[in-house]
Structure 1
Amino acid sequence: MAISGCAVGPNFKPAAVPDVDGYVPGKLASPNPGQGGPRVAGQHFVTGADVSARWWSAFRSPPLNELIRQSVDHNPNLQAAEAAIKIAQYNALAQRGLFFPQVTGNSTSQQFLIANPSQIPTIPTAGPQTEFSLVTNQLTVSFVPDVWGGNVRAVESLDATTEQQLFQLEAAYLALTSNVVTAAIQEASLRGQIAATQRIITIERNLLDILKRQFNLGQAAQADVLAQDAALAAAEELLPPLEKQLAQQRDLLTALAGQLSANEIAQKFDLAHLRLPTNLPISLPSKLVDQRPDVRAAEANMHTASAQVGVAIAARLPNIVLSANGGSASFNFAQQFLPGTGFYTLAGSVTAPIFDGFTLYNKQKAAEAALEQAEAQYRSTVITAFQNVADALRALQSDARAIRAARRAEDAAKASLEIVQKQLGAGQVNQLAVLNTQQTYLTAAVIRVQTEANRLSDTAALFMALGGNWPSKCTTADWRQCAMEEEPDPAAIQAAD
């Protein structure tokens, strides 16, 4: 046991924290919608603030909070991730068993028929043939001292795999909550687009009624009536695809909640009941690598590969095996404890590979290459993490200007359509102007809804890119209760008034 304190192979050291101060070049500027109207809710980046583990509470939607809790409790992907942790834990415990002697017991009962028993003096002679029983009970003890620490490295590798599976659970939890939030925002967007389309359909029906009355009075041409009727049909044609997408979005949310499609969730979402978070916490780059579960999983994978190098080196070195075998043998069960029936053997052996066609050498080189691969994958994961945050920041900066432009375009298109409606009633405008104005308003209304939804989705994407801040005090056994009941940080999730 004292010898096994030394383990060959590299000792793993966590990767260094990236030496950067931010995610984008220069000073990070909060989203600015620009000067002038219409008014757009502002958002502010709070550098150095911590992300709440219940970051979705920033949207101030009780139905969303309820649906996320339901999803976390019943989603099978999280349950599979929990089972993967148990598998890794039991494998690590199984490997630890090799630190102890291995003891096996064996009991054998044999029946013999011997010809010419007089030739075997140890067997009683009773005739030309003798039939007898032989009962053997033995205990075998074997122990392989971990001289070079090969088993230490194997346990280290499996422990790192367990840690990696824990981070995979965190990643699955973050992905699930983010997908639920994004899907809920998309449902709200579709409901808003349907409502906008229904508004323009109502307006176009009213315009068609006006043209029909004018046609009956001889004040409008039949071509104008048919053109308006075609415009109405084109607007109505937009509804079925949107309704189909909404139904499919409901199916997605139901599946995320761990329910069959026939058991549709009760929660429904629209943009009016999703508040835009104003103060957005931006974790420091040094903390990002500790919060992102994919980065931590990549680091654990690197630890696993590092330990496997030690396992491969130990396999090339001499190995010691100690064994002992003791028991008793007798002609029946009643005699097995009598004097003279016992036996034992003690043995020690040393084995070392001499020539194996460079098999073990190449396995060591493969393990070293796997470590290089894991290190490169870790660096790639870190780069991707920083890119995700930078992309979300850039998107939010653009969203503020986009939503202002979209609202301005919708307001202008609506005012223009109202004027055209009045002019059409007075017979002062041609049908082409009416059709153009209707199409402009419809497009502007839909784009405004989509732009508002994009801003909410990009906000959720920022929280996801920052890692969601899994509660460090949570244990694997009660992580659901811990993660779902943590009080959110008001400063980190303050919503717009």
Structure 2
Amino acid sequence: MNRLALAVLPALAPLLFACTTVGPDYKVPEHAAVRAPEANGPLLGTQDAAVSVAPVPDDWWRLYDDPKLNRLVQEALTANTSLRVAAANLRRAVAVYHEVEAENLPQAAFSAKAERAQVAGESFLIKEKIPVFSLGDFGFSVSYLVDFFGKLARADEAALASAEASQAALDMARVGVVAQTVRAYVQGCAATHELEVAEHQLALQERGAEIAGKLVAAGRGQPADLLRARSQAETLRAALPRFKAEKEGAAYRLAVMLGKPPAALAEDAFACEEEPRLRQALPVGDGAALLKRRPDVRQAERELAAATARIGVATADLYPSIRLGASAGLSGLMGDLGTGPTARWGIGPLVTWNLPTNGVRPRIHAMEAGADAALAQFDGVVLKALQETQGALSEYTRELERNQSLRVARDDAREAAHQHRQLYRAGRTPYLSSLDADRTLAASEAALAASDSQVALDQINLFLALGGGWQNSPQVARRDGAGHADGHD
């Protein structure tokens, strides 16, 4: 052993025995928005009788007790193109994780080379031309990177967190697909309902116009009354194409959610007469359950974990890289391969240490800034989740109040129209009074039908904000078989 080796070994010895993992250990900061008591308490507005603090069920769409809807959702979860994209992204992230994980294993390589070559004589300080030879080189090597400073551990940690973030993105895609599928189905049901209401009101108005025509023919009515009745009938008829277009558009959207061309969806696959209704108070849970359930919150938390781990990966570049290796092989003339003079072998450590003048420290600062940005993004996602849920909850409960008032108004208008129609037929009131009552009823029926549709859509928006519907998707399997802890536990 030469003097240089003897001088270097004492300096490296402490490093060989000081195995550590550099960089910050990940945990959600105490000042993160997800830890705020207000974020984990009861949601505002849960005192309304229309909602409950019961846990949100995994398959929330089954609360409608609609077998056709259940079948459509399951078909969408199987065939939707957005889910196929998210699933492919997850497979790619898991493959990257396993690639990084493989760096912890010994690396082996085999090489074989045979060539007819002429070597330059001057490279051996020989002035004569060296004859052409048949040369061969066969060898096998194995090496193992000793992770003294945790670079591989941090890289593994970052890759796993990124894979789990992709899993959360897939879960978020499932939530969106379920909500959009249910929304398209409900919009088709609502359009059918509103179309039936409009057709019923049109039939009533046409009967009124027929009566007005008979009264005019008998000399008991005014021609102006007949014209008004016909005008009202045509006004009601003009609303029918809009509802038909909404029904057809909902069918087309539903077909795409199922991964089919619009023409491939049979009409009986989605036909329904009215919006599906909940038979119980809508369960919303509390803030703590919401933040654990929302996939976008989990995705942001995992991205923060990955960004934190990358600080350790960059920090490890400040320290030496130590690789243990061994190699053996044969090198020389093809005719002599296998003889003693052609055998070669070697064993020992390889230590490389790049001085921190190559941009390592700026790279560490960049990773730290990336972690700060990931924390800000995490806080923003948490606040947005709470805002979306509170807003959807408020819209739902207020629309229910409006719906109840419209229902009372519709019932009163129906009774008033019935009484005016009887009085007009008996000749006790002018036709204009009956026509005005019918107009009021038509407007009340249309407003109530539109409100019924909005209530159903508000329910879906609230379920979407609550973030349920992904729990049955497969999860990323860790090497140690354990899942990561929730970021705010």
Which of the five TM-score ranges fits, normalised by the shorter chain?
Answer: 0.7 to 0.9
Q: Cα gap change, 1:477/1:316 in structure 2, threshold over 3 Å: closer, same or farther?
A: closer
Asked whether the 8 Å contact 1:44–1:279 carries over to 2, the reply is yes
2:290 corresponds in structure 1 to 288
2:452 corresponds in structure 1 to 452
Q: Cα gap change, 1:5/1:89 in structure 2, threshold over 3 Å: closer, same or farther?
A: farther
2:391 and 2:125 map into 1 onto residues whose CA distance is 89
1:226 corresponds in structure 2 to 227
Deviation of 1:155 (Å)? 1.0
Q: Cα gap change, 1:229/1:321 in structure 2, threshold over 3 Å: closer, same or farther?
A: same
Letter in 2 for 1:94: E
Deviation of 1:469 (Å)? 6.4
TM-score, scaled to structure 2: 0.83
Q: Secondary structure at the match of 1:340?
A: helix
Deviation of 1:17 (Å)? 3.8
Asked whether the 8 Å contact 2:21–2:150 carries over to 1, the reply is yes
Q: Secondary structure at the match of 2:148?
A: coil
- Answer with 401-410 or 438-447: which moved more: 438-447
Deviations 1:239-278 (A, max 9, x none): 1111011001011112212222121154335465723232
1:462-473 equivalent positions in 2, closer than 5 A: 462-468=462-468, 470-471=470-471
1:292 and 1:243 map into 2 onto residues whose CA distance is 36
1:113 and 1:462 map into 2 onto residues whose CA distance is 78
1:248 corresponds in structure 2 to 249
- Answer with 247-256 or 102-111: which moved more: 102-111
Asked whether the 8 Å contact 2:114–2:134 carries over to 1, the reply is yes
2:97 corresponds in structure 1 to 92
Deviations 1:11-57 (A, max 9, x none): 111466431363455x84223xxxxxxxxxxx352x3x322212211
2:371 corresponds in structure 1 to 371
Asked whether the 8 Å contact 2:184–2:253 carries over to 1, the reply is yes
Q: Cα gap change, 1:393/1:424 in structure 2, threshold over 3 Å: closer, same or farther?
A: same
Q: Secondary structure at the match of 1:468?
A: coil
Q: Provide the alpha-carbon RMSD of the alignment.
A: 3.2
1:491 corresponds in structure 2 to none
2:360 corresponds in structure 1 to 360
Q: Cα gap change, 1:309/1:155 in structure 2, threshold over 3 Å: closer, same or farther?
A: same
Deviation of 1:231 (Å)? 2.0
Asked whether the 8 Å contact 2:154–2:309 carries over to 1, the reply is yes
1:210 corresponds in structure 2 to 211
- Answer with 300-309 or 104-113: which moved more: 104-113
1:11 corresponds in structure 2 to 25
Gaps in structure 2 of 5+ consecutive residues: 1-14, 478-489
2:120 and 2:404 map into 1 onto residues whose CA distance is 106
Deviation of 1:301 (Å)? 1.0
1:207 and 1:406 map into 2 onto residues whose CA distance is 24
Q: Cα gap change, 1:353/1:114 in structure 2, threshold over 3 Å: closer, same or farther?
A: closer
Q: Cα gap change, 1:363/1:429 in structure 2, threshold over 3 Å: closer, same or farther?
A: farther
Structure with more contact order per residue of length (Cα contacts < 8 Å, sep ≥ 6): 1
Deviations 1:119-143 (A, max 9, x none): 999x9xxxx9844311111234444
Q: Cα gap change, 1:88/1:44 in structure 2, threshold over 3 Å: closer, same or farther?
A: closer
Q: Secondary structure at the match of 1:408?
A: helix
2:140 corresponds in structure 1 to 139
Instruction: Count matched residues.
Output: 455
Q: Cα gap change, 1:401/1:393 in structure 2, threshold over 3 Å: closer, same or farther?
A: same
Matched residues, percent identical?
22
Structure with bigger helix share is 2
Asked whether the 8 Å contact 2:168–2:295 carries over to 1, the reply is yes
Deviations 1:355-393 (A, max 9, x none): 23xx33222222111111111221222222222332233
Deviations 1:94-133 (A, max 9, x none): 112222333222222211357999x999x9xxxx984431
Q: Cα gap change, 1:185/1:469 in structure 2, threshold over 3 Å: closer, same or farther?
A: closer
1:153 and 1:3 map into 2 onto residues whose CA distance is 19
Deviation of 1:438 (Å)? 3.3
1:381-400 equivalent positions in 2, closer than 5 A: 381-400=381-400
1:79 corresponds in structure 2 to 84
1:153-164 equivalent positions in 2, closer than 5 A: 153-164=154-165
Asked whether the 8 Å contact 2:179–2:460 carries over to 1, the reply is yes
1:323 and 1:206 map into 2 onto residues whose CA distance is 96
Deviation of 1:92 (Å)? 0.9
2:365 and 2:42 map into 1 onto residues whose CA distance is 37
